[in-house]
Structure 1
Amino acid sequence: MNSAPPTSLYDRDILLWVEDTVAKLKAKDFEHLDLENLIEEVESLGISQRKELLSRLTVILEHLLKRLYVNSPYDYNGWERTVRTQRTELRVLFRFAPSLKGQWAENFTEAWVYALKTVRQDYPDTPFPDEWPFEADLEAMLDRPFWQTPP
């Protein structure tokens, strides 16, 4: 049983739809815009950026927890590199979406829950703290080498 091919440009070729939409916006041809899909795409862009912040912060916290509490010197360098990489990616994200900084505290709380659950599952014999033992502000999380001054 064959389903009917998609009829809208959006459904047939998203890249072509984007190019067409940009051209219409530049030409101020608002009458012919596919507003329903344009609104959906703009909304999803904001959601995507918020998800990226949460995801990168969760990875940072997971690797910091492993570096601080898991006795595996062989892995320390890799965990530290991951933290540095994710910090760089967050700096880039904030460069393009500075308003995300205002959502830091809320995302930190949620990321902490996810990170702690993951490391406790991965390392059940390692005692991890119930709360983050350091400052949780943006500047500290982007710059401080927490492993140099363990709790």
Structure 2
Amino acid sequence: MTALKATKPAQPGTAYEHDFYTWTQEQGARLCAGDFLRLDLANLAEEIECLGRGEFNKLVGAWRVVLRHMLKADHRPDRWTREGSFAIRIHRNEAEDVLTDSPGLTKRMAQAVGRAYGIARLEAADETGLTLKTFPKICPYTLDDIRSRPFPVDPDDTTA
């Protein structure tokens, strides 16, 4: 028979691993009530860090779509569509919203664009049928290009 290892008694409440939603509600209520001694600090810290990473990943995702469509516009202008212009506008707006809500991410813009470009390059090659080497290995666009280069939606549209 194997001896059981002594463990620290569980904190009252729902375990993080068993019911994440209920755990979040309990932790929020404890914070609001000032019941700091019963907080699950290790998991709370991990979740807070995860929230920050999620915001960064949203920014990367938005720039990825913008860059993919910019590459497609530049390398296959004969196949450029109105849909591509809309995609650029929509995802630029999403990226700007993330930056407005989390201005601290502005200092990580170059890193976000670098991550986004690597994936955008692969997607552009796949979607255009062009070889991967057609697309520069390093992002050819400035932050200003990415944020505001015009891509008209309608023939008489001169706005970005």
TM-score interval w.r.t. the shorter chain? 0.7 to 0.9
From 25, 35, 38, the equivalent of 2:31 is 25
Structure 1: gaps spanning 5 or more residues: 1-6
Structure 2: gaps spanning 5 or more residues: 1-12
From 64, 82, 86, the equivalent of 1:58 is 64
State the Cα distance separating 1:129 from its structure 2 match: 4.0
Q: TM-score, normalised by structure 2?
A: 0.74
From 112, 123, 140, the equivalent of 2:128 is 123
**How far, CA to CA, are the matches of 2:35 and 2:23 in structure 1?**
14
Q: TM-score, normalised by structure 1?
A: 0.78
The verdict on how the C-alpha distance between 1:62 and 1:122 changes in structure 2, with shifts beyond 3 A counting, is: same
1:36 paired residue number: 42
State the Cα distance separating 1:141 from its structure 2 match: 2.0
**How far, CA to CA, are the matches of 1:51 and 1:18 in structure 2?**
22
The reply on whether 1:9 has 2:15 as its aligned counterpart is: yes
From 77, 84, 93, the equivalent of 1:88 is 93
**How far, CA to CA, are the matches of 1:105 and 1:15 in structure 2?**
35
From 46, 52, 72, the equivalent of 2:79 is 72
**Could you say what secondary structure the match of 2:99 adopts?**
helix
CA RMSD of aligned residues (A): 2.6
Question: Which deviates more from structure 2 when the two are superposed, residues 25-34 or residues 8-17?
Answer: 8-17
Q: Which has the higher helix share?
A: 1
CA contact (8 A) 1:67 1:80 kept: no
